[in-house]
Amino acid sequence: MDVRNGMGLRPLGTSAAEFEQDLLSNLYYRRGTTVESASTQDAYETLALTVRDRLAERRVRTAAAHYAANPRWVYYLSAEYLLGKQLEQNMLYSGTDRIARVAMKQLGLDPDEVEGLDIEPGLGNGGLGRLAACLLDAMATLDIPAVGYGIRYDLGIFKQAFKDGAQVEKPDDWTYQGNPWEFPAPDDQQTVFFYGHTERDENGRTQWIPGEIVLGEPSHMLVPGHGTDTVNIVRLWRARGSESSFDLSRFSAGQYAEAVDEAVHAENISKVLYPDDSTELGRELRLKQQYFLVSCSLRDIIRRFRLRNTDWAEFPKKTVIQLNDTHPTLAIPELMRLLVDEEGLGWDLAWALTKQTFAYTCHTLLPEALETWPVHMFERLLPRHLEIVYEINERFLAEVRDRFPGDVDRLRRMSIIQEEPERRVRMANLAVVGTQAVNGVAELHSQLLAETTLRDFADLWPTKFHNVTNGISPRRFIKLANPTLSSLITEGLGSDAWINDLDQLTGLERLTGDAAFREKWRAVKRANKVRLGLGDPDSLTDVMIKRFHEYKRQQLNLLHIITLYQRIKASPGRAYAPRTVLFAGKAAPAYHAAKHIIRLINAVAAVIDADPAVSPYLKVVFPPNYNVTLGSLIIPAADLSEQISLAGKEASGTGNMKLALNGALTIGTLDGANIEIRDRVGADNFFLFGLDTPAALELRHGGAYQPRAFYEQDEELRSALDAILDGKFLGVGREVAESLLGRDEYLTLADYRSYIDCQEQVEKAWADTEQWTTSSILNTARSGFFSADRTVRDYAAGIWHVSPVQVTR
Ligand code: Z57
C-alpha cells in the first residue's frame, strides 16, 4: 500500500450520522471514555479530533501531491503567529460545521458549550503575528506549497487584566489542557549548537565546537485552505535538554535535582514569547530564540529539499525563504555556515545560492524597532556566525567602495557593524544585503523605506525594493467573525464565491439603492452590537483596537473623549448623539508610558460612568485581554474605526482593513494602508484629518514643534489637559498630560484641533442614517483589495516566483 497517496483509507463520511459515529468512536478509542461519563473537556477534545481527522486526510493527499510535483516551496520564517481559535475555522474549512452541530445535539451535547473550550494559541504580539497567520491561510487557499516555521512557546502573549484600572499581566499557559490540533513529529528532531569556539581542520575548513547543545522538537498544526483540498502546515519548535545536558555524575552522586539543571535551562529557550511589539529589548535569551528557530528550520528545509533533490545548484530553484522582519535574519549566516563549513562549497557559490534563496519583509519605520545586537553578545553565543557576518560585511563594503569611492560616511551608515557608541550587529542591514528582495507592507511604507530608513541600500540596488500591501483573511475576518453579514452578502450577491474572490464585493454597490437590503444591513450591525454586549446598540460605536503605543496615539482619542465630556458638562441641555468609545489592546509590560495611558482611559471611563449628566450620551468601555477572539467579536460591531497614528509611523496596519471590510467608516490620518483604504473606498466615505508625512517631518525636524503653543492657543485643548493635570480623573494620568506637553515625538497636540473638528463631521454624518448606511456598504463593497489572497498573489508573482500545485482526490 502506498501510504503517500493515502490509498487504502476508508473515506470519512459526510453525513451527520457518520460524523456522530466517528465522534463516538473517537470518544471511546482515543479519549477512553463514553457518552455517559464524558466531561465537557472530553467532548471538546473528541470533537476536535473528529474534525481534525477530516483535514488530516486532506493533509496526506496534499503531501503526496507536493512530493510528486517537487515544486518551488515557500518557507515562511516568523518568530510569531497569531493563528486564532482552530475549531470553528477547521469545521468551516472541512465542511463539517453543520453536521458537527447536529451530531453533538444528537449526543445530548451543547455545541456552544463544547466550542467554548477551544483555546486561542497566542503565539504573537500583534499585527506582525496575525499577518503571518493570514498569509498562511491565503497560501493554502491558493494551493501554494508552503510551510510556516515558528516557535512553540510554552507561554503565549500574557493575559491582560485590570486592577484598579491598571494593566496586570497573567501567564498564558495555553496548552495546560493539552492541544488537540498539534501533531508531534519526534522523528524530525534537530540539534542546535550555542557558544563555544571555532577551529580550522586539516583541510582548512572551519569547525564550530559548541559549548551547549539543545534539541529542537517539532510539532505541527494544520493550515487548511478554504474551498480546496490543500492543507499546509505550520511547524513549531520546542526546546529540549539534550542527553549531554543531563549531568550523570551529579545524578549518581545523589544530586537528582541538580543533575537536570542544564536541561531545564535549555528548555527556557521556548518558555515564553517576548511581549514587546515594535520595540527591541536586546536580551540574550531572545537572540537564542531567534537562532534556535533558524537553526532548526534550515535543517528541516534542507532535509525536505534532499527528499527529491541532490544538487545544491537546485536549492534556490526549489526554495524561497521569506523572513518576517529581522527576527529570523540569522538564517542568512546560518545557511552560509552550512554550505561552506559543512557542505564544503566555495564562498562565492554559497553566497550566490544564499542571496537567491532569501527575501525580507520589513514591518516598521521606527528606529527603536530596528534590531541590533551587541557584538560581544553575538560573538559569545554564535562565534562562527560573527566570523561569517564579518566576511559578508567586508565583501559588501568593498562593493560599496567601488560604487561610491571616497564616501566614508556612506560606508559607516551601510556597514552591517555599527561602531559607535558601541559595536553592534545591524540585523536590517544584514537582511538587505543577504536577500534578493526587500519589501515594505504598504505603498507609503515602502516608499519611505526607500527614501529614508533604507535609502543607501535603495541607491545601490534600486530593483531589490518592492511593495506588497498587507491583507487579511476574508475567511477569518468576515465569514467566521461576522456570519450574519456574510449571509446577507451572499444573499445579495446570489452566491458565496466572494469569500475566495473578494473583489466580487463590488457587486454590493448596486444594492446601496435597495431599501430592504439597507434595512437588513443596519439590522445586522445592530445585532452584532447586541452580541458584543458592551454599550447601547443604538449608539455610535467608535472603536480603537490595537497594541498600546505612543505612536498609535490612543492619547489623542482620549483627548477627544475628555473634550466631549466637558462640552456635555458645559451645555447639558443639548441633544448629543450617544457614542460608545471602545478601546482594546495590551501594553508591553515594561512600557510605562503606554500603561499610564491605559490607566487614564479606565479612570476617564469610571468618571463618566458615575456622572448622570454625561453617561446617557457618552460611554467608554475597555474590555481586557484583546486577542484574535475578542477582535472577532468587536470588529463586526464597529461603526467607526480609529486609525489615528502620526503620519509616517504606522507601517501598514491591518485592523484598519478588518474594520472597513466589516462596514465601519474610518477616521484616520494619511498613514500606512489608511491611504490605500481611502483611495479605494472614496474620500466621501472616509474621515481624513491631521498632518501628512512631509508636514510632520518638517514640524519635527525643524525643531519647530512646541506643544505648549497649541496648549496656550486652544481653549478646549487646554481645558482637557488641565482636567488631567488637576487630577479630575481619580488623580490619575498626569504623566500622560506631561508627556504630551513635553518632548512628544508623535506631535499629538498638533493634530488635536483637526481631529476634534473631524469628529464633529463624524457626528453630523452619523445623524444622517441613510448616508451613513450607504458609506458603510461602500466600505465593504470596496475593500476586496485588502484580501490576503491578493497579498499572496503579489508575493507569488513579484518575489517568490512560485505556482500553485493542485491537490486532487
Ligand atoms: C509588529 O506587529 C509590526 C511591526 C513590527 O516591527 C513589529 Br516588531 C511588530 C506591525 C506594524 O506595526 C503594522 O503597521 C503592520 O501592519 C504589521 O506589523 C504587519 O505588517
Q: Which atom of ligand 1 is nearest to the CA of 369?
A: 6
Atom of ligand 1 nearest to the CA of 673: 16
Question: What DSSP assignment string belongs to 259-281?
Answer: HTHHHHHHHGGGTB----SS---
The Cα 296–Cα 303 span in angstroms is 11
Residues 179 and 212 in one domain: yes
Task: Judge whether 552 counts as a catalytic residue.
Answer: yes
Are residues 607 and 515 both part of a single domain?
Answer: yes
- For position 7, what pLDDT does the model report? 60
**What ligand 1 atom has the least distance to the C-alpha of 364?**
6
Ligand 1: which residue has its CA nearest to atom 5?
Answer: 278
Do residue 38 and residue 164 come from a single domain?
no
Q: Which atom of ligand 1 lies closest to the CA of 366?
A: 6
CB neighbour list of residue 410: distance below 8 Å, 6 or more residues apart: 400, 404, 456
Candidate of 76, 78, 363, 658 to mutate for ligand 1, largest count of ligand atoms within 8 Å of Cβ: 363
For the purposes of burial, counting CB atoms within 10 Å of the CB of 789, is it exposed (0-12), middle (13-18) or buried (19 or more)? buried
Closest-lying ligand 1 atom to the alpha carbon of residue 325 = 6
The confidence score (pLDDT) of residue 573 equals 84
pLDDT in tens, 350-399: 999 999 999 999 999 988 889 999 999 999 999 999 999 999 999 999 99
Q: For residues 595 and 760, what is the distance between their CA atoms, to the nearest angstrom?
A: 29
Q: What's the Cα-to-Cα distance from 387 to each of 206, 333, 793, rounded to whole Å?
A: 10, 9, 38
- Asked about 364 being catalytic, the answer comes back as no
Q: How far is the CA of 551 from the centre of ligand 1 (A)?
A: 12
What tens digit of pLDDT does each residue of 228-268 get? Answer: 999 999 999 999 998 777 677 777 788 877 778 778 889 99
756 domain-assigned: yes
pLDDT in tens, 774-803: 999 999 999 999 999 999 999 999 999 999
Residue 783 CA to ligand 1 center (angstroms) comes to 20
CB 287 within 8 A of CB 323: no
Residue with the smallest CA separation from ligand 1 atom 7 is 278
Q: Is the pTM of this model over 0.95?
A: yes
Would residue 582 count as lying in a domain? Answer: yes
Catalytic residue (choose from 525, 529, 658, 678): 658
Q: pLDDT under 50 in the chain at which residues?
A: 1-4
Same domain, 50 and 79: no
State the pLDDT at residue 417.
98
Which ligand 1 atom lies nearest to the CA of residue 441? 20
Tell me the best of 157, 273, 278 to mutate to test the pocket of ligand 1, counting ligand atoms within 8 Å of each CB and taking the most. 278
Cell match 502620526: residue?
Answer: 646
Q: Do 60 and 196 lie in a common domain?
A: no
- The C-alpha angle 337, 338, 340, rounded to 5 degrees, equals 65
- The answer as to whether 480 is a domain residue is no
Kindly report the protein residue whose alpha carbon is nearest to atom 1 of ligand 1: 128
| CATH code of the domain in which 405 resides | 3.40.50.2000
CA dist., res. 657 & res. 786, Å (int): 6
- Helix (H) or strand (E) run with residue 731 in it: none
Q: Are strands 417-418 and 424-426 parallel, antiparallel or unpaired?
A: antiparallel
- In this structure, the residue with its CA closest to atom 16 of ligand 1 is 653
| Rounded distance between C-alpha atoms, residue 618 and residue 339, angstroms | 63
Annotation says 546 is catalytic = yes
Alpha carbon of 426 to ligand 1 centroid (Å): 19
286, part of any domain: yes
Q: Are both 631 and 771 inside the same structural domain?
A: yes
CA of 654 to the centre of ligand 1 (A): 9
Ligand 1 centroid from CA 646, angstroms:
15
List, edge to edge, every strand of the sheet that includes 579-584.
618-621, 579-584, 540-545, 640-643, 665-668, 686-688
Together in a domain, 293 and 421: yes
pLDDT, residue 253, reads 80
Give the integer Cα–Cα distance in Å for 492 and 514: 10
**167 and 51 in one domain?**
no
Q: Name residues contacting ligand 1 (CB within 6 A).
A: 125-128, 131, 277-278, 325, 363-364, 369, 441, 470, 650-654, 672
- What is the reported pLDDT for 764? 97
Say whether both 35 and 80 belong to one domain: no
Please count the other Cβ atoms lying within 10 Å of the Cβ belonging to residue 477: 28
Q: Identify the bridge partners of residue 123 per DSSP, sorted by sequence position.
A: 81
State in Å: Cα 552 to ligand 1 middle: 12
Query: Which of 78, 134, 277 should be mutated for ligand 1, with most atoms under 8 A from CB?
Result: 277
pLDDT at site 249: 78
**363 in active site:** yes
* Closest atom of ligand 1 relative to the 126 alpha carbon: 2
Q: Provide the number of structural domains found in the chain.
A: 3
- Is 488 a domain residue? no
Task: Tell me whether residue 617 is in a domain.
Answer: yes
Same domain? For 54 and 134 the reply is no
454 with 528, same domain? Answer: no
Cα(257)–Cα(273) distance, integer angstroms: 26
Residue 34 in any domain: the answer is yes
The residue whose CB lies within 8 Å of the most ligand 1 atoms, and thus the one to mutate among 125, 128, 327, 545, is 128
Q: Is beta strand 686-688 parallel, antiparallel or unpaired with respect to 190-194?
A: unpaired
Is residue 654 part of the annotated active site? The answer reads: yes
Domain that includes residue 231, residue range: 70-85+120-469+795-800
The answer to whether residue 552 sits within a structural domain is yes
Percentages of the chain per state (helix, strand, coil), in multiples of 5: 55, 15, 30
Q: Whose C-alpha lies nearest to ligand 1, atom 3?
A: 128
Identify the active-site residue in 453, 654, 669, 748: 654
Residues pairing with 236 in the sheet? 150, 219
Among 59, 240, 363, 595, which one carries the catalytic annotation? 363
Peptide bond into 421 cis (omega under 30): yes
Q: Within this chain, do residues 773 and 687 fall inside the same structural domain, yes or no?
A: yes
658 is catalytic: yes
Q: Which DSSP symbol is given to 506? A: G
Q: Whose CA is nearest to atom 18 of ligand 1?
A: 128
Q: Per the residue annotation, which of 220, 552, 596, 680 is the catalytic one?
A: 552
**What residue's CA is closest to ligand 1, atom 13?**
653
**What are φ and ψ of residue 207, in 5° steps?**
-120, 140
